[in-house]
Amino acid sequence: MDSGFLIDLVLAAGVLILAWLSLVATNLFKAIVLFISLGLLVTVVWVRLGAVDVAIAEAAIGAGLTGALLLAAWRRLWSQRRPVRDASGGDDSGGDNVS
């Protein structure tokens, strides 16, 4: 078994595990960070597939900007909820669902 195949195997397993983790994470912030990590791993996958153009786009848009957009949206949710939460102690997590 050559090393290239082993790297591909680890990458494929990593992508699946990260995708699963980012879907089942109940904490929004954790889910976003896992999603960004997934984007970076997918970038490596594109490089392994020889699609360097797609890899650059994935790194810049998929991992970088989408991550920034998700974090901005998360902060917006959090700042809207904070006045309500302050009375009951409040927490610094992204929380789960917003009703």
The footprint of another protein (CB under 8 A) covers 52-53, 55-57, 60-61, 64-65, 68-69, 72-73, 75-76, 79-80, 82-83, 86, 96-99
Write down the least CB distance from residue 29 to another protein, Å. Answer: 15
Q: Whose Cβ is closer to another protein: residue 88's or residue 99's? A: 99
Give min distance, CB of 87 to another protein, in A: 9
- Nearer residue to another protein within complex by CB, 23 or 72: 72
Angle between helix axes 28-48 and 3-24 (nearest 10 degrees) is 160
Residue with tokens 């994470």: 25
The CA distance from 44 to 22, in Å, is: 18
Task: Return d(Cα 46, Cα 71) in angstroms, integer.
Answer: 24
CB 41, min distance to another protein, A:
18
* Angle value at C-alpha 40, between 69 and 14, nearest 5 degrees: 125
